[in-house]
Amino acid sequence: MQYKQLTEYGAIGDGNTVALVGRDGSIDWCPLPHVESPSVFAAILDADRGGHFAVRPTQSFESVQRYRDRTTVLETTFQTADGSATVTDFMPVAETAESPVRPPAVYRKLECDTGPLELEVAFEPRFDYARDVPAVERTSDGVVAIGTDERAVLSSDLPLRPSTDGHGASATVTLEPGETRWLVLGYGEAIPLESSHHQKTLDEAVGYWREWSHDCAGADCPIDSPWHDLAVRSSLVLKLLLHRETGAVCAAPTTSIPEDLGGVRNWDYRFNWIRDAAFTVQALAELGHLDEARSYFELCLDHCGGHEPADVPPVYGLHGGDDLEEHVLDHLEGYRGSAPVRVGNAAREQRQLDVYGELILAIYESVRYGEAVTTDDWAVMCDLIDYVCEGWERPGSSIWESRDGPKHYVYSKVMCWVALDRGIKLAEAAGDDVSAPLERWRTCREGVREAILERGYSDRANSFVQTFGGESLDAANLLIPIVGFLPPEDARVQGTIDATIDRLATDGGLVRRYEGDDGLPGEASPFVVCSFWLVTALALAGRTDEATDRFESVIEYTSPLGLLAEAIDPESGEQRGNFPQAYSHIGLINSVLYLADADGSSGGSREPLGRDEWTEDSDLGGEIIRQPSDTERGDTA
User: Which string of DSSP letters, residue by residue, matches 278-311?
Assistant: HHHHHHHHHTT-HHHHHHHHHHHHHHHHTS-GGG
Question: Could you report the per-residue pLDDT of 96-130, keeping only the tens digit for each?
Answer: 545 455 678 999 999 999 999 999 999 999 999 99
Residue 159 lies in a domain: yes
% pLDDT > 70, the chain: 92
Residues 395 and 405: their CA atoms lie apart, in Å, by 9
Helix (H) and strand (E) counts in the chain: 14, 26
- In this structure, the answer to whether residues 271 and 376 fall within a common structural domain is yes
- In this structure, the answer to whether residues 95 and 141 fall within a common structural domain is yes
Residues 223 and 227: their CA atoms lie apart, in Å, by 8
**Beta partners for 567?**
527, 576
- In this structure, the answer to whether residues 267 and 389 fall within a common structural domain is yes
pLDDT for residue 600: 66
- CA-only gyration radius of the chain, Å: 25
**Beta partners for 18?**
13
Indicate whether 513 pLDDT > 50: yes
- In this structure, the answer to whether residues 415 and 548 fall within a common structural domain is yes
Give the mean pLDDT of 164-171. 96
Give the mean pLDDT of 408-434. 93
Range of the domain at 170: 6-212
- In this structure, the answer to whether residues 580 and 472 fall within a common structural domain is yes
Question: Could you report the per-residue pLDDT of 280-313, keeping only the tens digit for each?
Answer: 888 888 888 988 888 888 888 888 777 788 888 8
Domain termination site, one of 212, 238, 256: 212
Handedness of CA 366, 370, 372, 378 (dihedral sign): positive
Residues 42 and 432: their CA atoms lie apart, in Å, by 56
Residues 532 and 539: their CA atoms lie apart, in Å, by 10
Question: Could you report the per-residue pLDDT of 234-257, keeping only the tens digit for each?
Answer: 999 999 999 988 889 999 999 999
Residue 421: C-alpha distances to residues 169, 360, 427, 447 (Å): 60, 9, 10, 12
Indicate whether 637 pLDDT > 50: no
Q: Helices (DSSP H) in 456-560: which residue ranges?
A: 491-503, 528-540, 544-555
pLDDT for residue 71: 97
User: Amino acid identity of 379?
Assistant: A
pLDDT for residue 102: 65
pLDDT for residue 214: 85
pLDDT for residue 633: 56
Q: Which CATH number belongs to the domain containing residue 443 in this structure?
A: 1.50.10.10
Give the mean pLDDT of 36-42. 97
Residue 312 lies in a domain: yes
Residues 227 and 599: their CA atoms lie apart, in Å, by 13
Q: Residue 60: how many CB atoms within 10 A of its CB?
A: 7
pLDDT for residue 238: 95
pLDDT for residue 615: 47
- In this structure, the answer to whether residues 99 and 184 fall within a common structural domain is yes
When divided into structural domains, the chain yields a total of 2
Give the mean pLDDT of 167-191. 96
Q: Residue 611: how many CB atoms within 10 A of its CB?
A: 15
Confidence at 135, pLDDT banded by 50, 70, 90: very high
Indicate whether 602 pLDDT > 60: no
Q: What does pTM read for this prediction? A: 0.94
pLDDT for residue 614: 45
Q: Buried (b) or exposed (e) across 29-57, using 16+ Cβ within 10 A?
A: bbbbebbbbbbbbbbbbbbebbbbbbbbb
- In this structure, the answer to whether residues 94 and 175 fall within a common structural domain is yes
- Omega before 521 cis (within 30°)? no
Q: 403 versus 109: which is more confidently predicted?
A: 109
Indicate whether 569 pLDDT > 90: yes
- In this structure, the answer to whether residues 477 and 537 fall within a common structural domain is yes
Give the mean pLDDT of 360-377. 89
Residue 632 lies in a domain: no
Confidence at 431, pLDDT banded by 50, 70, 90: confident
pLDDT for residue 535: 97
- In this structure, the answer to whether residues 438 and 293 fall within a common structural domain is yes
Residue 16 lies in a domain: yes
The one-character DSSP state at 411 is H
**Beta partners for 343?**
327
pLDDT for residue 623: 77
Residue 488 lies in a domain: yes
Residue 505: C-alpha distances to residues 29, 266, 585 (Å): 32, 23, 19
pLDDT for residue 99: 46
User: Amino acid identity of 537?
Assistant: A
Residue 623 lies in a domain: no
- In this structure, the answer to whether residues 414 and 491 fall within a common structural domain is yes
Looking at every residue in the chain, the average pLDDT score rounds to 90
